[in-house]
Amino acid sequence: MAAVRFHHISLSVADLTAQEAWYSSAFGLTHVDERLEMPEAGVRTVVLSDAADLRVEFVERPGSSPAAYADPFAATVVQTFTHLALQVPDLDAAFTRLTGEYGAAPVSSPAPGVTEGMRYAYIADPEGNLVELIETSHD
């Protein structure tokens, strides 16, 4: 079997323009890989990527309803994807920058992970999507 690798993750959003701007600025997802409007389905999408080939697709559909969770464990009440996890070089700096400068809601402060040398924290983007920030000493 040929090697399989992750291609992208897709987030349903209420405001495509606002989320595109936030993720571009906050995480450096500045390259537009794809932009598509499907009026018959009532959907607009954009796929953004960065220089390291991280890709996130944002899909806007009027009338969609948010799924907001108080913490990462509450998100597991439904069987679906629960969060986006992004590796960052400096967890404390990223958490401070995102919750300060970019207005992300803090969900859980930086803490040690189970794996030796790993630390994590959770934030919520402006629409409440959970984002896990991970720092490893094995970079």
User: How does pLDDT run across 79-116, given as a tens digit for each residue?
Assistant: 778 889 999 999 999 999 999 999 999 999 999 999 99
Task: Give me the count of residues in the chain.
Answer: 139
Position 66 pLDDT exceeds 90: no
Spatial separation of the C-alpha atoms in residues 124 and 130, rounded to whole Å: 5
Q: What is the DSSP letter of 139?
A: -
- The residues, any chain, with a CB within 8 Å of residue 26's CB and separated by 6 or more, are 98, 102, 104
pLDDT value of residue 2: 80
Q: Is 105 in contact with 131 (CB distance < 8 Å)?
A: no
Q: What is the mean pLDDT of residues 112-131?
A: 94
Task: Inform me whether the pLDDT recorded for 138 exceeds 80.
Answer: no
Sign for the CA dihedral angle at 49, 80, 13, 41 comes to positive
Q: What is the pTM of this model?
A: 0.89
User: 27-60 pLDDT, tens per residue?
Assistant: 999 999 999 999 999 999 999 999 999 999 999 9
Q: What is the pLDDT of residue 65?
A: 87
**Cα–Cα distance, 84 to 88 (Å, whole number):** 13
pLDDT for the residue numbered 92: 98
Whether pLDDT at 139 is above 60: no
